């Protein structure tokens, strides 16, 4: 398998029982918020805007089918400029 920087996460995820609800946490500049939210169903997410209004924290809890789907979503999110994945 090709190395993509997600090997450690992949190992941890493969120990879980799938399908399952998986919790993602992000901090994203407001400029990228809509792009991030478009990756999740609205009812799966909670958003909180920072005090100064420059960033948002996003928690998403979608129903995921396997470890590779979780990693694919992280890869898509990593394309958003300035995002921090927790």
Question: What CATH number does the domain containing 37 carry?
Answer: 3.30.70.120
Query: Is 80 part of any domain?
Result: yes
pLDDT classification of 5: cutoffs 50, 70, 90 = confident
What is the structure's pLDDT at 43? Answer: 85
Q: Which residues contact 70 (CB under 8 A, 6 or more apart)?
A: 9, 13, 22, 64
pLDDT classification of 62: cutoffs 50, 70, 90 = very high
Q: What is the pTM of this model?
A: 0.89
Question: Which of 10, 19, 2, 11 lies closest to 62, judged by CA?
Answer: 19
Element (H, E) at 12: helix 7-14
What is the structure's pLDDT at 4? Answer: 75
> How many structural domains is the chain composed of?
1
Q: Which residues contact 63 (CB under 8 A, 6 or more apart)?
A: 19, 20, 21
């Amino acid at each position: 398998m090709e190395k993509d920087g997600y090997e450690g996460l992949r190992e941890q995820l493969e120990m879980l029982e799938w399908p399952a609800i998986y919790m993602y946490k992000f901090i994203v500049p407001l400029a990228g918020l809509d792009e991030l939210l478009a990756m999740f169903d609205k009812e799966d997410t909670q958003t909180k805007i920072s005090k100064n209004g420059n960033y948002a924290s996003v928690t998403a809890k979608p129903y995921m089918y396997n470890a590779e789907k979780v990693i694919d979503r992280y890869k898509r999110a990593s394309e958003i400029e300035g995002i921090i994945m927790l």
